[in-house]
Amino acid sequence: MTLHVCEHPIVEHKLTRLRDEDSPPALFRHLTSEITQVLIVEATADLETIPEIRRTPLADFDGARLADRIGLVPILRAGLGMVEAAQNLIPTSRVLHIGLFRDEDTLEPVYYYDKLPEPPNIDLALVLDPMLATGGSAIAAISRLKETGIERIRFIGLIAAPEGVEAMEEAHPDVDIWLASLDDHLNEVGYIVPGLGDAGDRIMDT
């Protein structure tokens, strides 16, 4: 597993505003989208393309199109805040939803929804969730994707705790991770510190 933490100054700037407790939901959603776009660009930098000869108004040229059928897999709810940005960037992508929430007492993921095509109709899954805390939710979502036959999976998050990255490495060493920040630690109730609080609540204004 390779961990990529984006150190772009514009991302650092936007992440600072995202974390700020005074940033209201509309701004929070906007910043989430903007950071997601940068992370998706980085996470897809090595994808293969198929050559395509096309024509400008002046001449033929050697073009290219993405070789893979890409699936965006937001983990509900907070992952929904990352979908639009990713879909705008890759309009040919498919969106597959997985519904999971963390039990507040046990911190274990509770599965409540998916409707994944079997056999899969994508080649590469980009799992989207702003927060990787204990790692339980991402691990469960990725296990479910693998059950359906998807072999190539990448995780895109905004902020992770070292505990979550370690758990992911153990459970899914084949899944690389792209983040805007690797934070300090999890607190006693499973929140990432300094983190940004509850991502789902801040995105959905609940």
When CB distances are held under 5 to 8 angstroms depending on the partner's kind, the choice from ligand URA, ligand PRP, none that residue 109 binds is ligand PRP
Residue 195 interaction partner, one of ligand PRP, ligand URA, none, beta carbon < 5-8 Å per kind: ligand URA
Nearest distance from residue 109's CB to ligand PRP, in Å?
5
Instruction: Write down the least CB distance from residue 63 to ligand URA, Å.
Output: 41
Residues 14-43 that bind ligand PRP (CB under 6 A): none
Query: At closest approach, how far in Å is the CB of 59 from ligand PRP?
Result: 49
Q: Is 109 in the site for ligand PRP (CB under 6 A)?
A: yes
Q: Which does 167 bind (CB under 5 to 8 A by kind): ligand PRP, ligand URA, none?
A: none
Q: Which of ligand URA, ligand PRP, none does residue 157 bind (CB under 5 to 8 Å by kind)?
A: none
**Residues 6+ away with beta carbon under 8 Å from 48:** 66, 67, 68
Of 46-54, 60-68, 73-81, 147-155, which segment contacts ligand PRP by CB under 6 A? 73-81
Question: Under the criterion CB under 6 A, does residue 71 sit at the interface with ligand PRP?
Answer: no
Based on the residue annotation, tell me whether 29 is a catalytic residue of this protein.
Answer: no
DSSP the chain: --EEE---HHHHHHHHHHH-TT--HHHHHHHHHHHHHHHHHHHTTT--EEEEEEE-SS-EEEEEEE-S-EEEEEEETTTHHHHHHHHHH-TT-EE--EEEEE-TTT--EEEEEE---SS-S-SEEEEE-SEESSSHHHHHHHHHHHHTT--EEEEE-SEE-HHHHHHHHHH-TT-EEEESEE-SEE-TTS-EESS-S-HHHHHHT-
Q: Which residue among the candidates 20, 174, 184, 201 is catalytic per the annotation?
A: 201
Q: Is 198 a catalytic residue?
A: yes
> Does the annotation count 36 as an active-site position?
no
Residues 29, 26: Cα–Cα separation, whole Å: 5
Which spans of this chain sit near ligand PRP (rule: CB under 6 A)? Answer: 75-78, 101-102, 107, 109, 129-138, 164, 190, 198-200
